Amino acid sequence: MRELRVIDGHGPDVSTYASVTTPTLFLQGSRTAQHHVVATEALRAVMPDARLVEFAGHEHFAHVTTPTAVADAIAEFLTAVR
């Protein structure tokens, strides 16, 4: 609960994340809850080097339901940003 209160305290303004220039990888399932999709899109819109990999047919826990695909996506991302 404590973590959720801190997260909620940040509010909807994502403009502060525009200063994050480190390559960032977002992972989400195509069936992820809409509030996660909205948050991810808002962050990607302001972060200059944000990328998204979507896992077709999976929900928020794609790392559990398709771990090999998630690991492959992370490995590909890390190889690309070296």
**Is 53 in contact with 41 (CB distance < 8 Å)?**
no
Structure tokens at 38: 């909205």
| 44 token code pair | 């990607």
Residue 8: the pLDDT is 73
Query: Residue 69, Cβ neighbours under 10 Å: how many?
Result: 16
User: Which of these, 61, 62, 27, lies nearest to 43 by C-alpha position?
Assistant: 27
Helix (H) and strand (E) counts in the chain: 4, 2
Condensed to tens digits (0 to 9), the pLDDT of residues 31-81 reads: 999 988 988 999 999 999 999 999 999 998 999 999 999 999 999 999 999
Tens digits of per-residue pLDDT, 9-21? 777 788 989 999 9
